[in-house]
Amino acid sequence: MTETTPELACPIAPIVDIVFSRWTTPILWALNEYGRQRFVELERRIATITPKVLTQRLRQLERDGLVTRTYHAEVPPRVEYEISDLGRSLGPMFATLAEWSPNLDRVEAARRAYDSRGSAR
């Protein structure tokens, strides 16, 4: 049996790594749904994210071209984040996932059934 890289075994793996990391999806969703936002607005919308992690994820999303950052040289300075055209192009994929979301009830039922078997495995 020959070994292969994850990218060759599953060509969508790099896409999953970029788009579905822990906080990327909620950030992109918020920017897509609510438009341009300041850091504090994003922080409020995604209440469980720490400022440090939000900063890191926004920088990575900007580096990946999925988010644009606009600095306004005012007093006090103002920074706004917006989903880019490239980020917006993920919309159909998110819409498909949203359509699949009713299946989460079935997933939860399967988990309960599996867990109820306990040590019988």
**Which residues are within 8 A (CB) of 79 and not within 5 positions of it... i.e. 6 or more apart?**
38, 39, 69, 70, 71, 72
**pLDDT computed for residue 64 by the predictor:** 96
Question: Would you say residue 54 lies in a domain?
Answer: yes
Question: Would you say residue 1 lies in a domain?
Answer: no
The pair of structure tokens assigned to 115 is: 């867990």
Mean pLDDT per 10-residue run, the chain (121 residues)? 72 86 91 95 94 96 97 93 96 90 96 85 56
- pTM of the predicted model over 0.85: no
Question: Would you say residue 12 lies in a domain?
Answer: yes
For residue 20, give the CATH number of its domain: 1.10.10.10
End-to-end Cα separation, the chain, in angstroms = 29
Question: Would you say residue 57 lies in a domain?
Answer: yes
Domain that holds residue 105: 6-120
Q: Is 36 helix (H, G, I), strand (E, B) or coil?
A: coil
Domains held by the chain: number: 1
The pair of structure tokens assigned to 81 is: 């984040």
